[in-house]
Structure 1
Amino acid sequence: MSHEKSYTTEEIAKLLRISKLTVYDLIKKGELPAYRVGRQMRVDESDLEAYKTRAKGGYRAAAQPVAYTLPVPGQAQPTTGRNVIISGQDVSLDLLSSHLEKSDAALRPLRSYQGSLNSLVAMYTGKADIVSTHLFDGETMDYNVPYVRRLLSGHRFVVVNMLARWAGFYVQPGNPKQLLSWTDLSKSGVRMVNREKGSGARTLIEEQFRLASITGRDVNGYEREENSHLAVAGVVARKEADVGVGIEKAARMVGVEFVPLIKERYDLVILKTEENGALLKTVMDILHSAAFSKELEAVGGYDLSQTGKIMYETW
């Protein structure tokens, strides 16, 4: 029986001459099918060739983010230990998953790559154990807590800070359209690219538009959606749009200019249940550890001044 060749994410990055983070982004968006073997993600050769064929033809798969590491329905799962589903899209969550796995052999971290709102809904329905959120509320000018309180009504939970990071505009080098504020997006001749509904970036856009009395009809390109910061920055880099909204790190990766607008708080949410007692303690220990901080600092672009601080807690 023949066995198809497969590649690790590191090998894919070298073959395609792209960064490992870009490989993960392709996997998250469903453009590059992958699966987990132990602690490694792998891609079959046939799926890699199919992706390269689509890329050469200019075709980009319009897929929603897929959680490839989640258990397959109906498939037998190991009977020992506990699956812990971590939902969110930032690479810091992959680092958290790795530390969880090392800290407690009884925990099996599984990654789900959903936006902030969809992650909270998954937690409410019992389909996520740790979720990340960066949701701006224009009424309170605060992050996350107003949304968590509404969506997890009736649950006991804790909101703890993971990190902070700058969000802003991706623009062409030199910012030729002089896009410096939210109202500038409604200028004549400006094309934007949007994020998908349910993401933290989309919530930021909607809230800032509301505060500035802008509607989607006022902005050219408002209906075009992408499923990640890298994808939005890529659209701007290819000059298919003049502006997009996302985090600073993606701008550096694809070579577009970044206009910082707001420092967003990136928090974790965990339900306070009897089952989660040990999990919560382990997560807090990781967030306060020097090893975890060092890894986050190595990624770059993060403010770790409040990492591990409890921002809100129910009793």
Structure 2
Amino acid sequence: MASDVSYTTEEIAKLLKISKLTVYDLIKKGELPSYRVGKQMRVDAADLEAYKQRAKGFASSERSPLAAAELTARFSPSAQTAGARPIVITGQDVSLDILAKHLEKQLPGTRPLRAHVGSMDSLISMYKGEADIVSTHLLDGDSGHYNLPYIRKLLVGTSFMVVNLLSRQAGLYVARGNPLQLRGWADLGRPGIRIVNRERGSGARVLLDEQLRLHGMKADRLLGYEQEQTNHLGVAAQVASGSADVGVGSEKAASLVGGIDFVPLIQEQYDLVVMKTPASLAWLPALLRILRSDAFQQELEAISGYDLSRTGEILYES
């Protein structure tokens, strides 16, 4: 029966001729009802058809692939009436939500929209023209530097700017009281230690994989390495529930989940990347003003765990 048919995110991306980033964002925004079967997200055929009918009503003249946030914007009455241009901001940190609010206030005629995806997928989406401001915190273990080694490789042949948003502590989520005495990266290789991981391409996953490589540990020797969560809170919750002994993430998420402690191990650099195009050059000065403004930084200062000493500093420009 047709009502029994369902699709994976990959199948939907092919059917609609859009990227998986677009599909995931539609699911997160509630435009595509979904459910999980094992590790896989699925969408019923009836729900997909309902979405297509709504899309035809708002964008019957559109035939080319659209960015995730642009698709979402088309279902917003305010965007329709105001004719607002979407500015797609990717990443998961709460500071990006604050940034979006300031951008909307400072840039009449634009509509900042959030896509909650990891660092690597964010950069790939920017290269494809699907995102305007992407956040990234990717450690290069060989150099000890964050972000630029990856950005230069992924955005080769393009003109872009890298601006610091903030720095924050990253480390291990452990059970309250740290009963297993997990103090550093090498402790993850102890026999019997169960970990919970992040998805491929996320900054936390890259951090873990680089530390495993630098410490000579094999990923397939770690219990739970294949068990993935799509955000810091999910990882922290698995540790809090006792389903895992340890996970890697940011300090902020640890403060939001009861029953765990946080072991800081590295100060990670959280940067913004903007591709320099005729469209972005129109609002890039406003973005820099906001990042350097007292109003924006005071809001971030109210959130514990952020180092704002370089916020708004241009780190690289091509």
Length-normalised TM-score, structure 1: 0.78
Partner AA of 2:100 in structure 1:
S
Q: Deviations over 1:274-293 (max 9, x none)?
A: 22112210110000111101
Change beyond 3 A, Cα 1:29–1:139? farther
Q: Deviations over 1:218-251 (max 9, x none)?
A: 2111010000000000000001000000001111
The residue that corresponds to 1:71 in the other structure is 71
Q: Deviations over 1:38-80 (max 9, x none)?
A: xxxxxxxxx9xx99xx9xxxx999649xx98542598797483
* Kept after mapping to 1: 8 A contact 2:26/2:68: no
Residue 168 of structure 1: how far off its partner (Å): 0.1
Provide the secondary structure at the position in 2 that maps to 1:213.
coil
Of residues 174, 177, 187 in structure 1, which corresponds to 2:180? 177
Mapping of residues 1-315 of structure 1, within 5 Å = 34=30, 63=41, 70-72=70-72, 78=80, 80-255=83-258, 256-314=260-318
Q: d(CA) in 2 for partners of 1:288 and 1:146?
A: 25
Which segment is superposed worse, 96-105 or 172-181? 172-181
Q: d(CA) in 2 for partners of 1:125 and 1:83?
A: 16
Provide the secondary structure at the position in 2 that maps to 1:299.
coil
Residue 93 of structure 1: how far off its partner (Å): 0.6
Q: Deviations over 1:130-149 (max 9, x none)?
A: 00000000121000000000
Partner AA of 1:147 in structure 2:
Y
* Kept after mapping to 1: 8 A contact 2:89/2:113: yes
Q: d(CA) in 2 for partners of 1:74 and 1:264?
A: 36
* Kept after mapping to 1: 8 A contact 2:169/2:264: yes
Which segment is superposed worse, 76-85 or 197-206? 76-85
Change beyond 3 A, Cα 1:165–1:107? same
Provide the secondary structure at the position in 2 that maps to 1:239.
coil
Which segment is superposed worse, 202-211 or 68-77? 68-77
* Kept after mapping to 1: 8 A contact 2:167/2:268: yes
Partner AA of 1:302 in structure 2:
Y
Change beyond 3 A, Cα 1:114–1:153? same
Q: d(CA) in 2 for partners of 1:257 and 1:145?
A: 31
* Kept after mapping to 2: 8 A contact 1:168/1:262: yes
Q: Aligned residue pairs: how many?
A: 266
* Kept after mapping to 2: 8 A contact 1:186/1:220: no
Change beyond 3 A, Cα 1:69–1:277? closer
Provide the secondary structure at the position in 2 that maps to 1:121.
helix
Q: Deviations over 1:10-36 (max 9, x none)?
A: xxxxxxxxxxxxxxxxx9895x7647x
Q: Deviations over 1:97-139 (max 9, x none)?
A: 1100000112111111110000000000000000000000012
Quick check: which one's helix share is greater?
2
Q: d(CA) in 2 for partners of 1:73 and 1:100?
A: 16
Residue 181 of structure 1: how far off its partner (Å): 1.4
Provide the secondary structure at the position in 2 that maps to 1:71.
helix
Residue 204 of structure 1: how far off its partner (Å): 0.5
Provide the secondary structure at the position in 2 that maps to 1:276.
helix
Provide the secondary structure at the position in 2 that maps to 1:127.
coil
Which segment is superposed worse, 172-181 or 203-212? 172-181
Provide the secondary structure at the position in 1 that maps to 2:149.
helix
Residue 82 of structure 1: how far off its partner (Å): 1.9
Give the aligned CA root-mean-square deviation in angstroms: 2.7
The residue that corresponds to 2:64 in the other structure is none
Change beyond 3 A, Cα 1:234–1:182? same
